[in-house]
Amino acid sequence: MTQIKSEVKQIEELRQLLQQASYAYYVLDTPIMEDTVYDRLYRELQQMEIEHPELVRLDSPTQRVGEKPAIHFTSVRHNIPLYSLENAFNIDELQSWEQRWRRQLPTTDAVEYVSELKIDGSAIALTYENGILVRGATRGDGVMGEDITQNVRTIRSIPLRLNLTDLENLEKVEVRGEAFLPLDVFKQINEERQKAGEQLFANPRNAAAGTLRQLDSRIVAKRRLDFFAYTLHISGRDDASIANTQWEALELLEKMGFRVNPNHKLCASLAEVAEYYQYWDTERLNLPYMTDGVVVKLNSFKLQEQLGFTQKFPRWAVALKYPAEEAPTRVENIAVNV
């Protein structure tokens, strides 16, 4: 093997090993190597990439943290709009939501719902072309958002390249999900801001939104944002061929390499949704991130398509919120003892 070839191979193997280690650590929460080993190998890859800049690839782990701060964010149009969610504040309102969609689409078939914890962060839209992350944008008004690609690349649980092993190369994939700050990170950031005499973030949602709109991606990288994916659109093919339901879409997102919130549940009736909602009302206070409700979705994409959207939101989903007083007291506790 010529000298160059062996170095190319070495860089390839090192990059793949670090990508696997990063995926295992940030997405699966199951580290496969000691941090010190990762850091040493990372520095080795950095050194090799300095010697062979022509071999650097967009999806190399060394390409997550940007250099110079952006001057401003350009505004971009979402390929597929991001809709809002209708709110329901209790089980009665959830039931009237079900009656409404059933009036529009009388069906005698058994209907399944997917219940997902509503992560209290900031919604973002990711675009992948031929498996590579090419754009990250804020939700904005749902039609236009801000291009925050450089900042999104610093979120370690967001894959820079999709794991498409058992899926043929998908030309364009749109993924939506919630970027959020884990509570311990939120607390630590507020401690730092307190020491620096800066204004504190009122809650993890504002802290996440504020961090995503930071012009200097090196600051974003230090803040350890995390991400749960919940929507997948595959253009250039009809999604149905690979995912027919929300449940399958969540499984596919995991296969592609995304973090999906592990607490989603397939519910055979609203009664089961109500049970899930009651259970997590207290249980969620033990989670390491903020939630503010449960998102209830009709599982079948066929039914979703038949119901469609109003001007603002899908008829086939609803945000079943928890009473607000829970969150601030808990967050205020954190803010107070920083």
Q: Which residues bind ligand 3BD (CB under 6 A)?
A: 83-85, 116, 118-119, 123, 139, 178, 230-231, 295, 297, 314, 317
Instruction: Please say which residue, 38 or 180, places its beta carbon nearer to ligand 3BD.
Output: 180
Q: Tokens 């991400």 identify what position? A: 227
User: In which region does residue 257 sit, left (phi positive, over 0), alpha (psi from -120 to 50) or beta (all else)?
Assistant: left
**CA distances for 10 relative to 13, 21, 158, 159, 169, angstroms:** 5, 16, 25, 22, 25
Q: How far is the CB of 221 from ligand 3BD (least distance, A)?
A: 23
Instruction: Please say which residue, 49 or 178, places its beta carbon nearer to ligand 3BD.
Output: 178
Furthest-apart CA atoms within the chain: distance in Å: 72
| Residue pair 23/31 in contact by the 8 Å Cβ criterion | no
Q: How far is the CB of 119 from ligand 3BD (least distance, A)?
A: 4
**Active-site residue, selected from the candidate residues 5, 118, 297, 302:** 118
Q: How far apart are CA 16 and CA 202, in angstroms?
A: 39
Locate 274 and state its tokens. Answer: 């109500």
Is 118 a residue of the active site? yes
| Residue pair 18/41 in contact by the 8 Å Cβ criterion | yes
DSSP H/E element including 128:
strand 122-129
Q: How far is the CB of 71 from ligand 3BD (least distance, A)?
A: 26
Q: How far is the CB of 116 from ligand 3BD (least distance, A)?
A: 4
Instruction: Please say which residue, 284 or 297, places its beta carbon nearer to ligand 3BD.
Output: 297
Q: How far apart are CA 250 and CA 278, in angstroms?
A: 23
Q: How far is the CB of 326 from ligand 3BD (least distance, A)?
A: 16
| Residue pair 226/179 in contact by the 8 Å Cβ criterion | yes
Q: How far is the CB of 118 from ligand 3BD (least distance, A)?
A: 5
CA torsion angle 295 298 304 307 (round to 10): -90
Instruction: Please say which residue, 18 or 298, places its beta carbon nearer to ligand 3BD.
Output: 298
Q: How far apart are CA 1 and CA 204, in angstroms?
A: 53
Instruction: Please say which residue, 221 or 303, places its beta carbon nearer to ligand 3BD.
Output: 303
Locate 159 and state its tokens. Answer: 């894959």
Instruction: Please say which residue, 84 or 95, places its beta carbon nearer to ligand 3BD.
Output: 84
Which residues are the active-site residues? 118
